[in-house]
Amino acid sequence: MAKLYFYYASMNAGKSTNLLQADFNYRERGMATMLFTAAIDDRFESGTIASRIGLSAPATMFDAATDIAAAVAARHADTSLACVLVDEAQFLSEAQVDQLAAIADSGGIPVLAYGLRTDFQGQLFPGSARLLALGDALIEIKSVCQCGRKATMNLRVDGTGRPIAKGAQTEIGGNDRYVALCRRHFVEALNG
């Protein structure tokens, strides 16, 4: 039976690298995959999943209006898919997560979703909340805080490195905008 997997972590934990490795493993064995990435993520080339260590692969972009189930069904009709992989899964809508669950349950295709669990205020993203609710397997990818403890939080910083506590939930950025911290150092940075 196919499953819906949710691999979650703080920023810079290697989520995209893990996704690209999983994709490679399937393709190396002659199996077809379908990759998705959020259209809102403009840090790299459009329609590309890229890791900080230099790996990349083309992907189908999704936004809130994308019917992921229809896109997978169309591709699966042409080429039998062995796996669907989703990067930046925190940006999925609840309905899209429901579609991914149906792809695993009814379509028999494993779905591997990778994303952030929480935003810069420690709040769940709607897509992540639904993945936590529906996922058959919830796998934390570990990252490290500056103190050596497990990083679980994403601190948003301004151009000078000062913590930002308020703003829109979604603001795209990398190491220039976010720092992965343990909860203790996250709270200290916001209250300091």
Q: Tell me the catalytic residues.
A: 88
Q: Rg of the chain's alpha carbons, rounded to an integer?
A: 17
Q: What angle do CA 153, 158, 163 make, to 5 degrees?
A: 45
Q: Are strands 81-86 and 111-116 parallel, antiparallel or unpaired?
A: parallel
d(CA 1, CA 19): 21
Residue 113 DSSP SS3: strand
Degrees (nearest 5) of the Cα angle 22, 27, 33? Answer: 75
Residues whose CB falls within 8 Å of the CB of residue 155, separated by 6 or more in sequence, listed in order: 120, 163, 178, 179, 180, 181, 186, 189, 190
User: Across the strands, what pairs with 37?
Assistant: 61
